[in-house]
Structure 1
């Protein structure tokens, strides 16, 4: 049984991660090291992180949706294929060599950071889509969901840049839609983790409480300030994830 002070500290960690994740993704960079430091075995840390993160992401989705920044009906096919892709990725992770991703993903994250840093036309206004939304968003959901099931870091950044670059969504709408698909990929992983008994429920519950608070504040902040806060946070979080993967795998 963990010390109550440790649980309280993990709740605060969940709150901070929920705030960051609701705006720019990357909350797992904060929560997974904290869970490992608290003494959880690696698999339990990953499973517990998925559980508490899903709760926070759900709160973020609800907040963006209630403010009109997520069209859930349009995302239903993408949600279904993201779930399928993530479940397939989690099922096959032990059967494929993911070592190449340790180099490829940081490069992709740095590219995303540079795009958000230097792209002159980023805004909250929707633009013309380069690809048909209804046909290609589900395919993007399946591909990135599969990646999330196998590896994971940067999933939110990949979804966000896809919605902005390929489908013309404004940055805040892209962030809200990203949260919906992130929630789905987390749920798919939990379908495997929960029956295996890997989730440490007391930790997941207290961190989920922190996540709800942090995600709500984060989503409201993202909605209020839009691209002005989402853009710099995506840059910072993407670079931080890339450096962590390169130097602290």
Structure 2
């Protein structure tokens, strides 16, 4: 899909936001809260913005998943069935979003991002307390993972945080274990959604590729700043920037 209004200024804006998002996402998560509003602010239609956001975010989730598997933070046999469940859920969610009126998406997406931003702000970053599993592994695989995957297919921001929270609260996973598993499940749901969007023809490739480069640079910078910057402050920064861009988007004249 082409986008005629993608000027040099817009391309530079999207690249910059992707760098910032990649940096903050590596350290505190929540990069999608910045990139999706940025795409919509650039005048990209809501459905195309969701699709292009999936393309640019694939760089980060793919890199994180490979790193987790290679470092043996998580083993393939632990996640292969969960990844399939996430993939299926995301595929269903992405198909659903194709049939929602784009005029409704212009209202729904800012509302959802605002709600996720508030959740992201008030949710604790690290909970060291060990919990006991509240549901069985089969129930988690058959219902919880596909539901979160479906959310990723429909919208996407903070999916990784939801997978981490579910692993901690429902399966009693330790924080690092939950985080590592969440990366692989987020990768699976992201790829499923991306494939559907590619076949549907909604991706704005040039914008997405520019942002992928920005994501890589931001993630590389963030990896060199791990544990040097308080995560709480970074989460506040993510939310403030997210809300600022949403306000700007809501106030800008409709073209």
TM-score category, normalised to shorter length: 0.7 to 0.9
Distance change in 2, residues 1:35/1:100 (3 Å): closer
2:76 is matched with which residue?
A: 72
- Are 2:191 and 1:183 equivalent residues in the alignment? no
Match of residue 193, structure 1, among 168, 190, 197:
197
2:207 corresponds to? 203
Task: Write the distance in 1 (CA, Å) between the matches of 2:111 and 2:43.
Answer: 28
| TM-score normalised over the length of structure 1 | 0.75
Contact 2:60–2:219 (CA under 8 A) maintained in structure 1? yes
Mapping 1:219-238, distance limit 5 Å: 224-225=226-227
Sort the Cα spacing of 1:47 and 1:230 in 2 relative to 1 into closer, same or farther, 3 A.
same
Distance of 2:112 and 2:34 partners within structure 1: 22
The answer as to whether partners of 1:86 and 1:142 remain within 8 angstroms in 2 is yes
1:164 and 1:38 map into 2 onto residues whose CA distance is: 37
Aligned match of 1:82 in 82, 86, 95?
86
Q: TM-score, normalised by structure 2?
A: 0.73
Q: How many residues align?
A: 242
- Unpaired runs of 5+ in structure 1? none
Aligned-residue Cα RMSD (Å) equals: 3.9
How far residue 134 of structure 1 moved from its aligned partner, in angstroms, is 6.0
1:173 Cα deviation (Å)?
Answer: 3.0
Structure 2, unmatched stretches of 5+, are: 251-255
Answer yes or no: is 1:39 the counterpart of 2:43. yes
Q: Secondary structure at the match of 1:26?
A: coil
Q: Which residue of 1 aligns with 2:253?
A: none
Q: Is the 8 A contact 1:63 1:220 kept in 2?
A: no
2:218 to 196, 205, 214: 214
Partner of 1:116: 124
Q: Deviations over 1:90-126 (max 9, x none)?
A: 2223379999999899678756754517xxx822x86
Offset of 1:244 from its aligned partner? Answer: 8.8
Matched, 1:168 2:172: yes
Change (3 A) 1:34 1:64: same
Taking the aligned partners of 1:217 and 1:151, their CA distance within structure 2 comes to 27
